[in-house]
Amino acid sequence: MFGQFDVTLHRSSLKTTRLLRLFIIIMYARVGMKIEKTPLLGLTIDELKSVAAEVGLPAFAAKQMASWLYQKGVTSIDEMTNISLAARQRLCQHFEVGRRDPLLRQQSVDGTAKYLFPTSDGHRVEAVFIPDEERGTICVSCQVGCKMACRFCMTGRQGFQGQLTPTDILNQIYSLPERERLTNIVFMGQGEPLDNLDAILRATQLLMADYGWAWSPKRITVSTVGLRKGLKRFLDESPCHLAISLHNPFHNERAAMMPAERSYQLDEMLELLRQYDWTGQRRLSFEYIVFGGQNDTDRHARELVRLLSPLECRVNLIRWHAIPAAPSSMPSLSSAAPPSHSYEVPSLSHATPSLSPAAVVPDGSSSGLPLSDAVTFHEAVPARMVAFRDYLTRHGVRCTIRASRGQDIDAACGLLNTKEQNKD
């Protein structure tokens, strides 16, 4: 169909293709994966040009493949009907699209849907579709489990079992039954995006590329606890929105909840964020799970205002969802955290409620709380969350309360977990 392929002219392209395939095989091998065919989903236009050269197609066939993969969303090479049958047969010998249908779907009473997807190496990850009037959001996973070990998160309790490839990440989006309804993508599922940054940057690049899905970066948000090794690179290389998992403004208290704070402190992270312009299209937000009597006190609100008011940002308050079979003790945030049903809601316009001696913070800059005491997390009283939101807003920090979705199917924030599904 496309004429005789000139081996001499395309010798360098063939060499590039072989190196590309070797690179992909090595990348899969590093995460313990065996593949027989190279997935096309996840390749850039230049890499698809090399694939075209390997099977004897001209360079413009790469755009044809990209259109089938990223715009039409085909599931097999045989569906690429403007490529010759002979060329498709050659493609099928060494390549595949890489799409995998979800294994399980759970439907919440509020319309949220949770999907269990297989990965290239035989693991399982969860993704969540959240419909909301004219909006449709998918919450995407980037790792099998997570290394961050946040005390309040089911994924953190799962431990780390493997990285997802760009193909695995994109498959959650392209194989979503509600794909045509999507308006937003958030990388807030299982795993820490900055701990798998190469794959995240590759996936978002393909989502935004004119030959890909051609999405605006304003429709994509990447969430992180904040990792020193990856945050600056993400800020320099990606135009997507950034969400920081904050959850506590005091170092010791945050470290007790989120071990990542010990290697990259919040004040260092904020210093870096202040070096970037957030007044344009890229948005900065802070996620704040509210624990009753533990991080919703007056001093927490005042410290948040002190830290965040210099930034153009938004704070999203999130209700904590009790973790099934959670351990009875966790690192301390305060010496006496009352259960939510008996927690008295103080006014944020008055003085800070009485604190135990260990919780006193004379200079307001860091907490002296011990990390070894035991405490149980509690849900916050809704009225307290409203008062907390209003205090931040009155003092110049835009704040909203995020609606909880999918809790009845363990799809809400902090509840994703595939430990049982990934057992051998």
**Residue pair 258/147 in contact by the 8 Å Cβ criterion:** no
413 is catalytic: yes
Instruction: In whole angstroms, give the CA distance from residue 246 to residue 403.
Output: 18
- Nearest to 257, CA basis, from 375, 384, 343: 375
- What does each C-alpha distance from 42 to 39, 56, 222, 352 come to in angstroms? 7, 21, 18, 52
Which residues make Cβ contacts (< 8 Å) with residue 75, sequence separation at least 6?
A: 97, 99
- Nearest to 291, CA basis, from 377, 209, 391, 366: 377
113-118 and 104-107: which strand pairing? antiparallel
- Nearest to 258, CA basis, from 288, 296, 301: 288
284-290 and 241-245: which strand pairing? parallel
Structure tokens that stand for 99 in this block: 């799409």
What is the DSSP-derived secondary structure letter of residue 165? P
Instruction: In whole angstroms, give the CA distance from residue 226 to residue 346.
Output: 32
**Residue pair 124/422 in contact by the 8 Å Cβ criterion:** yes
Which residues make Cβ contacts (< 8 Å) with residue 236, sequence separation at least 6?
A: none
**Residue pair 331/151 in contact by the 8 Å Cβ criterion:** yes
- Nearest to 121, CA basis, from 27, 33, 59: 33
Structure tokens that stand for 345 in this block: 């809601």
Select which of 126, 192, 253, 287 is catalytic: 126
| Residue type present at position 171 | N
Cα torsion through 153, 105, 135, 322, rounded to 10: -20
303 is catalytic: no
**C-alpha radius of gyration, the chain, whole number:** 24
> Which residues are catalytically annotated?
126, 413
